[in-house]
A = this chain, B = another copy of it.
Amino acid sequence: MDTTKKTIIVFSGDLDRVMAAFIIANGAAAMGDDVTMFFTFWGLNAIRKPENIKVKKSFLQWMFGKMMPRGADKLGISKMNFGGMGATMMKMVMKQQNVTPLPELIRTAKEQGIKMIACTMSMDVMGIREEELIDGLEFAGVATYLGEADEANVNLFI
């Protein structure tokens, strides 16, 4: 089988968009492709640990950290979220329809060897520290992303 490469920038932190990203990524990996996901800005929220980790931050970083959802299970949806009710409804329908929930999609991505990179510049801006993110990530910047994208035949920004 020919192995080709895909990259996905996960900029959005909306449940629906992040799920789309992981469904495409896992699909490609299942077909034998190398896949790199690059988490930046709000996308970092999808890979935060659910626990409150004590780390030093500036006041503004602390505020951003407080206001942003902590992890895959807390994300809202991009439309009709209504303070989280929309996300809950969507998760209920997904369960009815046997759609794999996001935390499991992330586990599968790791198991399939998908390279998950957290954008260090965004981490600085959002005030998110390595300890606050799930295990198994790499940490890098835009140059690394561009290097990966140059080797890929499909590059998406989600």
| Bound Cα distance from A4 to B99, whole angstroms | 34
- Interface residue ranges of A18-42 to B (CB < 8 Å): 20, 23-24, 27-28, 31, 33, 40-42
A65-97 vs B, Cβ < 8 Å mask (1 yes, 0 no): 001100000000011100000000110111011
| Bound Cα distance from A152 to B4, whole angstroms | 13
Contacts of A28 in B (CB 8 A): 146
| Bound Cα distance from A93 to B20, whole angstroms | 30
Q: Across the interface, name the chain B residue whose C-beta is closest to A158.
A: B157
Other-chain contact of A155, B11, B33, B79, B155 (Cβ < 8 Å) = B155
B79 and A99 contact, CB distance less than 8 A:
no
Counting CB contacts under 8 A, is A142 at the interface? yes
Which one of A48-56, A108-116, A121-129, A130-138 contacts B?
A: A121-129
A142 and B97 contact, CB distance less than 8 A:
no
| Bound Cα distance from A11 to B78, whole angstroms | 11
B79 and A145 contact, CB distance less than 8 A:
no
A90 and B125 contact, CB distance less than 8 A:
yes
Q: Across the interface, name the chain B residue whose C-beta is closest to A20.
A: B11
A97 and B79 contact, CB distance less than 8 A:
no
Q: A residues within 8 Å of B by Cβ?
A: 4, 9, 11, 13, 16-17, 20, 23-24, 27-28, 31, 33, 40-42, 58, 60-61, 63-64, 67-68, 78-80, 89-90, 92-94, 96-97, 99, 121, 124-127, 141-143, 145-146, 149-150, 152-158
